[in-house]
Structure 1
Amino acid sequence: MKNIKTIFAAYAFVIFSASSCTKDFLDLAPISQQNGNNFYKTGEDMKNALTAAYGGLQYGGLYYSSMHIIGELRSDNTEITNPNAGSDLVAVDDFQNIPTTSISSNTWAGHYQAIQSVNIVLEKIQAVEMDENLKARYIGEAKFLRGLMYFNLVRVYGAVPLVLKMINNPQEGYTYGRESVDRVYNQIITDLTDAETALPYEYVGADIGRATKGAAMSLLGKVYLTQKRWDLAANKLKEVIDNQVLTKYQILPNYANIFGAANENNKESIFEVQFKGGVSGEGSPFTNQFAPIGSGTAVVSVGNPLGQNIPTADMANAYEAGDVRKAISMRTSYVLAGNTVQHNYIAKYSGTPAASLDSDVNWIVLRYADVLLMYAEALNEQGYVPDGLAFTYLNQIRNRAGLLSKTSNNPDVSLQLPDQASFRLAVEKERRVELAFEGHRWFDLVRTDRALTVMSSKGMQIHHTIFPVPQSQIDINPGPIYQNPDYPN
């Protein structure tokens, strides 16, 4: 990781893994060759352990690949245009993924491995003699990470096991069954509330990139919005906006300045997964992943173009005329050997990797534009107000994109939002084009109960809005771990 670099290998143990029946607890020693029994002694040890927990965000089952596959490819934003991109990706795109495909199993396993790293920090730090303020901050950071990971899990699978302590041996894993969605959300809210209390508004130097108070507040607002607790969502998101002087968050004047390695951790960014090209295991894959198969070096000059998350024609048409975000977010053609090839591809993550799948580009999880649009949505859901405050925040995002404001009684019908329903759809559309390819679209459609309607209207045979529980997990622990409806058992 760029600023909070993973400098040692933490304990890793995926509960319910296929090997848990036969293998001992996986104990990976750090670079110093100390083992877990004598490592966690000082504040510096805990800093390293926490940094390793941040490293979990880079796992293939998290933000290296799974979260953008689920958040974008599952939606109407992107598609697989070349089957050579991978059969499991095609299955997600076509709503044919089954419990034995790698996307479900990698996402489950990666998140629980990362949660184990967080739980180790939370358990081991209690006995360490160190600065109490720093200890409280580390606990807050760890709880933010755990809250984020469980927020991902509950949105992807629904009910999931709720593991809140370090797992010490394989047999402990069998005691955990799937907990109700409500209980998982209650724990997420507890973790994020605790994190908000403990975390600072900002960091400097090498600590830039760690979770902040604003990140915890913003994520908590999104959690409340997902639960349709409009008043709580609006109040929490308003806190983020009202504390702008302390958080330093702002809408950058130029949309292009949000993205790319040169712009990471900017004032619009609230929380990013840090990647660093040219450092073993620290680079991001997005530049290669999103380049069209067959594009050679026309789109990405180093490494193979993999053809994942290709923007749909519907996505390209979603942008209004004059929207500056389109050219920054995606392209519709490239030039290869002097010939123009018509092919959509994502441009937000462009760059020159150090090697294949080894770019310097971060993944933005939360940014301030997301907060403003969520706040506008929460206000509207509490009650439509003609040209009220919700319009202010919606239009702030539109105006930055070079678009005219929408009003309640605009003489231009295309800019008129006369009621709550029309404002609701306007926010949905604005989120789509503002946050395109950042992993939000599928979760937005599910959150607003619009997934079935939207995807069916575009010809997709959608059967379910949550993913299958990996069959391997059910086979290992049948009963406590069971399959979601409409999937084969």
Structure 2
Amino acid sequence: MKKNKIIFWSLLAAIPMLLAVAGCKKFLDRKPLTATLQDLNQGALEGQVLGMYSNLRTLAGFSLLPWIDFHSIRGDDAQKGSDNTDGNEVITEFDTYQYTKDDWAPNTYWNDHYAMINLANEALYTAVDSLKVSDAASLRNIGEACFFRAYSYFELVKTYGDVPLINFKVKTAAQGIVPKSPASRIYEFIDSNLQAAVSLLPVSSSEYGAGYDGRLTKGAANTLWAQTYLFRSNWARVAALCTEVIASNQYSLVPNFSDIWRTEGENGPESIFEMQAYVGPGAASNSAVDFGSDWGTSQQVRRNGAPIEWNLGWGWNTPTDKLVSDWPADDPRKQQTILFSGQNDGGRDLGGFGANVPAYSNPAGTGGLAQKYWNKKLYTGNDPTIRQSTGYINASGAARWINHRILRYADVILMLAEADNELGNGAAAAENLELIRNRASGNKGPLRTIVPKIDFVNQAQMRQAIKDERRWEFAMEGYRFYDLVRWGDADAVLGPLGYTHRARFYPIPQKAIDLSGGVLTQNPEW
């Protein structure tokens, strides 16, 4: 896997600078590309598509703090974390739902998703309008661009509701100023893009050739498509798409839950799609081998006024007291997901390294850890072998090598369980739920006493069991807030934290409205 990462990132490094920076410019600030027709060939198209993979790693709206703010901190199981001197505005804005219309994180989230859409539009213009490609490699590239465009619009529509639909190459700033389209139209556009992606993408990333672990597949497109139907409660389509992913025989559950998150678990059998990061030996002093991401660094253990040891990162996205108290003590995933300050990390079977974690102490500057609990799914950033090899010892770069697990097979199984239950097939739902719970128990079988088997009693009972299972299986991964919203549970669960119904959607950034000259309008409740 490591060798393939080196090949993949060497190819990314070779992308012409024009393409490398294209996706990073802000929406409405884009200048048209000036490449001539002679420049446009299959290699250029490939470069544009590889730039979209780079965007997942480098644009903050996809794998850094803005993504964490929107996906994780708005739920009841995660909080800002860090220490009392760092990012307190996030507590107000995301932990207590006092949204702002003009702040760095929401502006970045909006801009970065439209930057990705813009890059996808340019690639599709290159492929379809300029080159009129028909070779197999270029058709795969079209499938990749369609996936990234659908992925970006899905993030936007579930976050903002109605948003501008731009499905063409923007050649002038004025062309990028369009009014919002209704969410139903956005979903139709997502459907058309994912239908194309499914038809054009390969079954396995091996079909791209050696060194391309992590590139998009039919399974990724079908999984994302199922997620979009989940948000629309179209249970028949969810079931059909999840069944197709399962029938492909490309994926399986990893026997040990903790192994998903270890470095050797990257692009493993449970992985459907990951943001790829690579940091080579000596990267701390040699940027040429650093294709890392602050996705991992941002969520590492943070020490107050600490020496280098245990000051591993920024300390964001930490578990809440409520998650710790609600989670059944006999579920091994609790210890595999939550790292407790002042305790041993539990060793390999529980996702640790056999280290004794320093105690929590507050306020800042006292030398203890800044939070009581940490996201253990990112704790691989404490791998002493990799830290020494890369030279990234502390918060300046620790854990930059961690991939972001965006789509994994467990979600396919639980989506199918939820769909089957809503379609009146509770027995099948229970069977799929059991796959997840048995793995969580350590594969102890149906007669186990920990994480016990749950039999179907009635639809309401199974519905709640599936909701609970999603909470434990995907804790700290960014599912919780959006699950609560789509279930209609957000008012009851998040209300005590300050949530009101209008907080299901975020206000459109005021800067985007101002740049549009009023063509773009604010969400009605804001």
| TM-score tier after normalising by the smaller chain length | 0.7 to 0.9
Kindly state the Cα deviation for residue 482 of structure 1 after the two structures are TM-superposed.
1.3
CA distance in 1, matches of 2:39, 2:301: 46
Instruction: Please report the TM-score for the alignment, with normalisation by the length of structure 1.
Output: 0.87
Using the alignment, how far apart are the partners of 2:494 and 2:440 within structure 1? Answer: 26
Q: Determine what percentage of the aligned residue pairs are the same residue.
A: 28
Residues 294-318 of structure 1 show CA distances to partners (whole Å, capped at 9, x for unaligned) of: 35669x8586632311100111233
- How far did 1:93 drift? 1.3
Structure with higher helix content: 2
Report the counterpart of residue 460 of structure 1 in structure 2: 498
* CA–CA separation in structure 2 for the residues paired with 1:416 and 1:452: 29
Tell me what 1:375 maps to: 416
Tell me if the contact between 1:296 and 1:305 (Cα under 8 Å) persists in the aligned partners: no
Rounded Cα–Cα distance in structure 2 between residues aligned with 1:254 and 1:295: 33
Looking at structure 2, the residues matched to 39 and 448 of structure 1 have their Cα atoms a distance apart, in angstroms, of 52
The residue correspondences of 1:244-283 to structure 2 (distance < 5 A) are: 244=249, 248-277=250-279, 278=283, 279=287, 282-283=291-292
Give the residue type in structure 2 aligned to 1:383: G
Contact 1:272 1:364 in 2 (8 A): yes
Matching of residue 206 in structure 1 with residue 211 in structure 2: yes
Q: Are the aligned partners of 2:414 and 2:466 in contact in 1 as well (CA < 8 Å)?
A: yes
Corresponding residue of 1:445: 484
SS of the residue corresponding to residue 349 of structure 1 reads helix
For 1:350-369, what aligned pairs fall within 5 Å after superposition? 350=379, 351-352=381-382, 354=390, 355=392, 356-357=396-397, 359-369=400-410
Deviations 1:53-92 (A, max 9, x none): 2212121011233222211100011113434231342221
Is the contact made by 1:16 and 1:476 (CA closer than 8 Å) also made in structure 2? no
The residue identity in structure 1 corresponding to 2:498 is: M
What is aligned with 2:347? none
Q: CA deviation at 1:415?
A: 4.9
Could you tell me whether the CA contact under 8 Å between 2:313 and 2:397 is conserved in 1? Answer: no
Cα separation, 2, equivalents of 1:423 and 1:395: 12
Measured in 2, the distance between the counterparts of 1:289 and 1:394 equals: 32
Q: Provide the rounded CA distance (Å) in 1 between the counterparts of 2:341 and 2:486.
A: 33
Which amino acid is 2:323 matched to?
Answer: M
Q: Residues 225-240 of structure 1: matches in 2 within 5 Å? A: 225-240=230-245
2:109 & 2:38 partners in 1: Cα distance?
29
**TM superposition shift of 1:414:** 10
Partner of 1:395: 434
Deviations 1:430-450 (A, max 9, x none): 111111111211111112111
Letter in 1 for 2:418: E
Report Cα offsets for 1:441-487 as digits up to 9, x if no partner: 1111112111111112x443435111111010111214331112332
Cα distance in structure 2, aligned partners of 1:130 and 1:414: 52
Residue range with higher mean Cα deviation, 224-233 or 201-210: 201-210
Partner residue in 2 for 1:160: 163
Counterpart Cα distance in 2 of 1:260 and 1:413: 26
Partner of 2:352: none
- What TM-score, normalized by structure 2, do the two folds share? 0.81
The separation in 2 between residues aligned to 1:36 and 1:85, in whole angstroms, is 43
Which residue in 2 is equivalent to 1:217? 222
Q: Is the 8 A contact 1:286 1:357 kept in 2?
A: no
Question: In the alignment, is the contact (CA less than 8 A) between 2:434 and 2:453 conserved in 1?
Answer: no
Aligned to 2:105: 103
Distance in 2 between residues matched to 1:302 and 1:119, nearest whole Å: 44
Q: Name the SS of the counterpart of 1:365 in structure 2.
A: strand
Match of 2:363 in 1: none
Paired residues of 1:4 and 1:209 also in contact (CA < 8 A) = no
2:438–2:446 CA contact under 8 A, matched in 1 = no
Residue 364 of structure 1 aligns to a residue whose secondary structure is strand
The superposition leaves residues 113-154 of structure 1 with CA deviations (integer Å, 9 ceiling, x where unpaired) of 111111111111233376611121110111011111111111
1:277-309 deviation per Cα after TM superposition (whole angstroms, max 9, x unaligned): 3356731223332235435669x8586632311
Unaligned runs of 5+ in 1: 28-34
Task: Name the counterpart of 1:340.
Answer: 359
Is residue 2:174 matched to residue 1:171?
A: yes
Q: Which amino acid aligns with 1:160?
A: V
2:429 match: secondary structure: helix
Q: Contact 2:95/2:497 (CA < 8 Å) preserved in 1? A: no
Distance 1:231 1:129 in 2: 36
Q: How do residues 37-186 of structure 1 correspond to structure 2 at under 5 angstroms?
A: 37=36, 40-58=39-57, 59-81=59-81, 82-90=83-91, 91-126=93-128, 127-128=130-131, 132-174=135-177, 176-186=178-188
Flag structure 2 segments of 5+ consecutive residues without an equivalent: 344-354, 361-370
For residue 97 of structure 1, give the secondary structure of its aligned residue in structure 2: coil
Amino acid paired to 1:472 = K
Match of 1:422 in 2: 461
Q: C-alpha offsets along residues 203-255 of structure 1, whole Å, 9 cap, x if unaligned?
A: 222221111001111111111111111111111111111222xxx20011111
Between the aligned partners of 1:332 and 1:314, the Cα distance in structure 2 is 14
Contact 1:40-1:128 within 8 A present in 2 as well: no
2:277–2:291 Cα contact (<8 Å) kept = yes
* One-letter amino acid of the counterpart of residue 170, structure 1: A
* Superposition deviation, residue 39 in structure 1: 7.2
Query: Do 2:301 and 2:312's aligned partners in 1 also have CA atoms closer than 8 Å?
Result: no
Please give the alpha-carbon distance, in whole angstroms, between the structure 2 residues aligned to 1:236 and 1:53: 25
**CA–CA distance in 2 between the matches of 1:230 and 1:338?**
44
Q: Which SS does the other structure have where 2:60 is aligned?
A: coil
Deviation string 1:256-285 (CA, Å, 9 cap, x unpaired) is 111132211001000111112335673122
Paired residue for 1:32? none
Q: 1:197 to 1:413 in 2, by over 3 A?
A: closer
Provide closer, same or farther for how the CA distance between residues 333 and 243 of structure 1 changes in structure 2, counting only shifts above 3 A: same
**Residue 3 to residue 181, structure 1, CA distance change in 2 (3 Å):** farther
In the alignment, the residues of structure 1 paired with residue 453 and residue 203 of structure 2 have an alpha-carbon distance, to the nearest angstrom, of 40
Offset from partner CA, 1:173-211 (integer Å, 9 cap, x none) = 22x111110000001011011100111110222221111
SS in 1 for 2:478: coil
1:190–1:405 CA distance, 2 compared to 1 (3 A): farther
Q: How many residues align?
A: 464
- TM-superposed CA distance for 1:2, in Å, is 5.9
Distance 1:219 1:103, change over 3 A: same
Give 1:417 shift. Answer: 5.2
CA 1:373 to 1:413, structure 2 compared with 1: closer, same or farther past 3 Å? closer
Say which SS state the counterpart of residue 36 (structure 1) adopts: coil
Indicate if the aligned counterparts of 2:302 and 2:310 stay in contact, CA closer than 8 A: no
Work out whether residues 437 and 452 of structure 2, in 8 Å CA contact, stay in contact via their aligned partners in 1: no
**What's the secondary structure of 1:80's corresponding residue?**
strand
Query: 1:438/1:377 Cα in 2 relative to 1: closer, same or farther (>3 Å)?
Result: same
